[in-house]
Structure 1
Amino acid sequence: MKESDLIQFITKKGNSEFDQEVISWINASSENQAFFSKIKAEHLLATIDDNLENINPEKQFDAFLNKKSKNNRRLFLRIASVIMIPLLLTTYFFYSDSLDNSNPTQFTSYAASAKEQKQITLADGTIVWLNAESKIVVSDKYNNTERRISLYGEAFFDVVKNKNKPFIVETASGIKVKVLGTTFNVKSYSSEKNVETTLVTGKVELYDQKEITPLLTLRPKQKATFSKKEKQLSVAEVSTENITSWKSGKLIFDKTPLAEFALNIERWYGVKVIIASNSFKDYAFSGEIDRNNTIEDIIKILKVSSNLNCSFNNTTNTLLINSK
């Protein structure tokens, strides 16, 4: 994260999605937190220095001599406050840094690479399945007063019920999922235009960054789709088996756009998929891919089920999809 991005965040000049990206970066490591604190302190002190430069000492002193005692006292306090603010800020940052260093928050990342799915059990017994190219970040304070994690990619959660400690999934888009105990799937890849939350059992609530009132509440077999571009939420009834089948080694597609199909193949097989023409990017694919299928099997499936012609280059590890 660049210093200019952090300044933009500090001065509140970014949108909600930008703010969430910065927050996620800050929470990703103690080093990031220390760097952010340093930049924020320097920015605040620089702002105060600018204000001090605008004060003319001679005029202020003349005013001090010419005013009546009551006004003199008020001006003195004003000047004294300007002098004291940097000192107080310096003391504050020193003190807060001492506190942070004595008990800094530690974060642990769990990641699944391309061609991999991984299962993790959290401290409270909650089980998380990570899809390919996905990651969760967990604080060492997890399960204290709440259970909060950050998700990058796709994961299925089987959350241990605890009505006193809500389980919260944060995504880079700003959408947060809050539950007490349930099973659900969240898909939040940065390369995709939507964030999808699918409820299998129980109840989940979706929130924005403020977490004041839920944007909506899902029932079992419902999927909420948040459009990153339009900033809109929609809900649909779905077959949860199709959406969560990846954790048992299958990808089930039901009229899935070719571009989305390609992204899934890239993650599962660690290859680059190139769609040669925009004319058939909106082609809808329906079918099933098993974890044991090879790239050659996928080429055959596409040839049989569509008018698409595919070839694979072993040297560049690239699957080219073209029309017949």
Structure 2
Amino acid sequence: MLIIGIMDNEEIKPLLVKYITGEADPADIVQVKEWINAHPENEQYFAQLYETWHNMLYVQPQVNKDNAFQQFLPAPAKRYVQLVKWGKVAAVAALFVALSAALFNRYTSNTGKIKQIAVSKGAVKKVVLSDGTLVWLNAGSKLNYNADFGKMTRTVFLEGEAFFDIAPGKKTIPFIVNTQNYTIRDIGTKFNLKAYPNDPFFETTVVKGEVAVEGNINGNARENNRIYVKPRQVLRIYYRPETDNYKPDVQNSKIYNEIQVLQVDSAKLSLYDGWKENLLVFDGNTLEEISKILERRYDVRIRLDDESLKSIRYSGSFKNVAGINKVLDIIKANTAIDYSINGNTVNITKN
């Protein structure tokens, strides 16, 4: 399995050539997909090469394919030369490697130039990226991107929750959001994305336009491990969250086996993106789900005194509520709970 970075594994380069040119056999395809899914930087590097290849396919038609390919491949990978020195693959790979060599050098020089926007618990932040895209980051979220974002790629890495209002930009440079388990390719303009590492699900809600969600997706009609999400649709994929004692195995299809696609009325979209307007909306959420949201919103730790409390459900909305005690007072008035606050810890008990 090829799962380490491009800097450490030269064998992946000729496989990427074969994959992009459509000449990879089934075993090659499996290796490439495993490598891409193994790390966000792998997926970004592949996306850069793929997009550069298609954008510049006809820019430099005259290339010395033998010299370009020999220079691109390091000594340990020379044995792969014969795999691409024939027919269509030779012509395609020659131009590909000539273009990707420069891109690879740029990628290498920028490896340490990652910018990060982090939002602490209890806060929400609005930022404008260099391409004009508006991003709202919810509490406890991080957004990473390369220093040269917007020039040749528009790829970001999200941990947490964010609302994206994508700037049109160049059609040849798609906007891509990588999360721990899935990649979102923007085809429209506005969508919410929730991918906290300790939540048992991945969720995206499209307000306007369309997005493609790519990754380890199982089920009927899931061609190429991809699902298209249209306006006012919510895609939620359940899996086990990452904890100290458990790391999700992306190869285990039994973990990623529950997929929901819901059509949402416009009036209920605030349930998914209202947080950016300091609005909390619950629609039959369990107390366990609500607790996680309140922990991030108010920067507290919530302890449920009894296991049965997790399944209590509550519906209601809160606008600009500064303190968690006011939220809990209203929930307490409508459910069988009680609570106490000690410093930064909230203890919820059965009433």
TM-score in same-fold range (> 0.5): yes
Query: 1:168 maps to what in 2?
Result: 176
Percent of residue pairs bearing the same amino acid type? 28
Give the superposition deviation at 1:19: 7.0
* CA pair 101-246 structure 1, distance change in 2 beyond 3 A: closer
Please report how far the alpha carbon of residue 160 of structure 1 lies from its aligned counterpart in structure 2 after TM superposition.
Answer: 1.0
How far has the Cα of 1:214 moved from its partner? 6.1
SS at match of 1:145: coil
Distance 1:17 1:227, change over 3 A: farther
TM-score between the two structures when normalised by the length of structure 1: 0.68
What is the match of residue 188 of structure 1?
Answer: 195
Aligned length: 252
Q: Look up the equivalent residue of 1:104 and give its one-letter code.
A: N
Output the CA distance in 2 between the equivalents of 1:25 and 1:216.
Answer: 22
Q: Deviations over 1:163-191 (max 9, x none)?
A: 22211111101x11111441000000011
Question: Offset of 1:291 from its aligned partner?
Answer: 3.4
Alignment of 1:267 onto 2:296: yes
Q: In 2 relative to 1, CA 265–16 (structure 1 residues): closer, same or farther, beyond 3 Å?
A: farther
SS state at 2:163 partner: strand
Structure 2 residue 197 is the aligned partner of structure 1 residue 199: no
What's the CA shift for 1:242? Answer: 1.6
Aligned to 1:293: 322
1:135 aligns with 2:142: yes
Q: Does 1:219 align with 2:230?
A: yes
Question: What residue is the counterpart of 1:320 in the other structure?
Answer: 347
1:59-78 equivalences in 2 (<5 Å): none
Distance apart, 1:161 and its partner CA: 1.8
1:281 alignment partner, SS class: helix
Structure 1 window deviating more from structure 2 (255-264 vs 141-150): it is 141-150
* 1:99 Cα deviation from its structure 2 partner: 4.8
Distance 2:271 2:110 in 1: 42
What is the TM-score with the length of structure 2 in the denominator? 0.63
Structure 2 segments unaligned to the other structure (5+ residues): 13-30, 45-73, 79-100, 218-222, 241-254
Q: Report if the CA contact (8 A) 1:256-1:285 is conserved.
A: yes
Residue 209 of structure 1: how far off its partner (Å): 7.2
> Conserved in 1, the CA contact under 8 Å of 2:211 and 2:229?
yes
**What corresponds to 2:16 in structure 1?**
none
Letter of the 1:188 counterpart: A
Partner Cα distance (1:222, 1:234) in 2: 10
Deviation at 1:27, TM superposition (A): 9.5
Please name the residue that 2:220 is paired with.
none
Q: In the alignment, residue 220 of structure 1 is paired with which amino acid?
A: P
Q: Indicate the SS of the match to 1:113.
A: coil
Q: Which one of the candidate residues 260, 269, 275 is aligned to 1:246?
A: 275
2:260 maps to a residue whose letter is S
Q: What code does the residue aligned with 1:251 have? A: L
Q: Which runs of 5+ in 1 are unaligned?
A: 29-83, 89-94
Structural RMSD (CA): 3.6
SS of 2:172's equivalent in the other structure is coil
- Change in Cα spacing, 1:278 to 1:188, as seen in structure 2 (3 Å) is same
- Deviation, structure 1 residue 6: 6.0
> Match of 2:261?
235
Following the alignment from structure 1 to structure 2, what is the Cα–Cα distance between the partners of residues 213 and 248? Answer: 36
The alpha-carbon distance between structure 1 residues 282 and 130, as it changes in their structure 2 partners (threshold 3 A), is same
Decide whether the 8 Å contact of 1:252 with 1:287 is kept in 2: yes
Q: Aligned in 2, Cα 1:171/1:215: closer, same or farther, shift over 3 Å?
A: same
